[in-house]
Amino acid sequence: MTKPKRQRREFGAIRKLPSGRFQAHYIGPDAAKHYAPKTFAAKVDAEAWLTDRRREIDKKLWNPIDADRAESPMFEPYADEWLQTRLVRGRPLKIRTRDHYRQLLDLHILPAFRAKRLDQITPADVRKWHDNLLPDAPTMRAHAYSLLRTIMMTAYNSELIVANPCRVEGAGSARRRSRTVPASVDELAVIVENMTPRYRLMVSLAAWCALRFGELIEIRRRDVMLEYETGDDGERQLVAGYVAVSRGAVRDAEKNAYIAQDSAKSDAGSRTVHIPPHVLDAVEHHLQEHTGPNRDALLFPAPEGGYLTPTTLYNHFHPARDAAKRPDLRFHDLRHTGAVLAAATGATLAELQQRLGHSTVSAAMRYQHAAQGRDRKIAEALSLLVKPDTPQE
């Protein structure tokens, strides 16, 4: 027995939202799209609303003034469509960004605004919502507010509202409650020594090359290049090496798994990072002892294969950092450590920006500021340029 063919709706359209509610809209006699002033718990209610609008049009009772009132979409379907179609520099959102926005919407924004039309959201509504939003999580609070403001700005630019109601001054930024304290060179040595052998190099590259976790777990044998020279004694010597960073792995919340993405975090994230000479022997050893022979072999796979997860890494990293007496140190702080160490060498902003894969100079400036304690040593080094018998004014 064949299934009956699904009949296409002759008037209007209905779609089910991620929340489970239903949104209805139709094209009016004015050739404009008109949304229902609310979403519906049941599809049959959405169908009834469309039937009423069709009856009004057929009987020439349709009122364009009432239609204009309903033109501003409900916040929930508009935000859902915004998230699905959002482009950044002409490209869809990265998976991690999309998942982060989805979480902010579902947990912190939709509960307050899903039942309102865009044009019903007032500055007072936004301010009241923000006053009670995540008081103990200032960074997440700033992210949620920034997302709401961006969505409403898109609505304003599309002429769906007459003004953006998000006007809480300074709400889109948050001051960090605590500053990251980078690891010292000695602390790094202790952490590396106390890591399980197959992940020792991961700590070294995170710190000395300032690589992100997602970049590290996607590095493959083909991405690491080592350069050798033949000495006078005929022996090959390892003299240089670099890592080509052009991809990353991110966790896809919908699939509940890490997946590869074709590009790094941003265009600037695709870069070549040279490995400090004192780490080269460890790289060579790791390639020989802990990396498969295939060019696509991951440098730091999970024990069972595939992408290494943070949880598995933390099982080894946390005891190692405790051995260094740095229980406050997060794995991501190793990248911060590497950035500060690079700045301490006197690297320029442009050089830091390139090495770290930052798309803006302002991001690299944070690490230059952290290294400004070197100014006294710089001043002392300048004096060494002056000959003792040179008269000073």
Q: Is 318 a catalytic residue?
A: no
Q: Is 367 a catalytic residue?
A: yes
Could you say which of 117, 321, 326, 358 is catalytic?
358
Sign of the C-alpha dihedral computed for residues 200, 204, 210 and 215 taken in this order: negative
| 148 and 211 inside one domain | no
Residue 140 inside a domain? The answer is yes
Asked if 161 and 122 touch (Cβ cutoff 8 Å), the reply is: no
Count Cα atoms within 13 angstroms, Cβ side, for 9: 15
Per the structure, the count of domains in the chain is: 3
Q: Is 55 a catalytic residue?
A: no
Q: How confident is the model at residue 355 (pLDDT cuts 50, 70, 90)?
A: confident
| 211 and 116 inside one domain | no
| 117 and 260 inside one domain | no
CB-based burial of residue 204 (10 Å sphere; 0-12 exposed, 13-18 middle, 19+ buried)? buried
Residue 84 inside a domain? The answer is no
The pLDDT, as a whole number, for residue 39 is: 77
CB-based burial of residue 160 (10 Å sphere; 0-12 exposed, 13-18 middle, 19+ buried)? middle
| 151 and 268 inside one domain | no
Could you say which of 141, 290, 335, 355 is catalytic?
335
Q: How far apart are CA 322 and CA 326, in angstroms?
A: 6
What are the two backbone dihedrals, phi and then psi, of residue 386, each rounded to the nearest 5 degrees? Answer: -95, 125
| 321 and 230 inside one domain | yes
Answer with the one of 25, 51, 69 that is the final residue of a domain. 69
| 152 and 189 inside one domain | no
| 145 and 189 inside one domain | no
Residue 89 inside a domain? The answer is no
Sign of the C-alpha dihedral computed for residues 300, 305, 306 and 308 taken in this order: negative
Closest CA to 210 of 382, 80, 334: 334
Q: What is the pLDDT of residues 296-351, one digit of tens each?
A: 999 999 999 999 999 999 999 999 999 999 999 999 999 999 888 888 887 777 87
Could you say which of 367, 369, 374, 376 is catalytic?
367
| 255 and 355 inside one domain | yes
Q: What is the CATH number of the domain that holds 338?
A: 1.10.443.10
Pairing relation of β-strands 248-252 and 257-261? antiparallel
Residue 125 inside a domain? The answer is yes
Asked if 153 and 164 touch (Cβ cutoff 8 Å), the reply is: yes
CB-based burial of residue 169 (10 Å sphere; 0-12 exposed, 13-18 middle, 19+ buried)? exposed
| 204 and 337 inside one domain | yes
CA angle 327, 332, 335 (to 5 degrees): 115
Q: Is 149 a catalytic residue?
A: no
Q: How far apart are CA 292 and CA 238, in angstroms?
A: 21
Residue 95 inside a domain? The answer is no
Residue 163 inside a domain? The answer is no
| 142 and 268 inside one domain | no
| 360 and 225 inside one domain | yes
Residue 122 inside a domain? The answer is yes
| 138 and 236 inside one domain | no
Domain hosting 120: range is 100-157
Q: What is the pLDDT of residues 13-55, one digit of tens each?
A: 998 877 678 888 888 888 888 878 777 889 999 999 899 899 9
Q: Is 358 a catalytic residue?
A: yes
Please enumerate in sequence order all residues whose Cβ is within 8 A of that of 108, keeping only pairs 6 or more positions apart, or say none: 133, 134, 140, 144
The pLDDT, as a whole number, for residue 24 is: 86
Q: What is the pLDDT of residues 92-131, one digit of tens each?
A: 888 888 889 999 999 999 999 998 999 899 999 999 999 9
Overall pTM > 0.85: no
The pLDDT, as a whole number, for residue 189 is: 95
Could you say which of 212, 271, 321, 355 is catalytic?
212
Residue 129 inside a domain? The answer is yes
Could you say which of 69, 167, 274, 332 is catalytic?
332
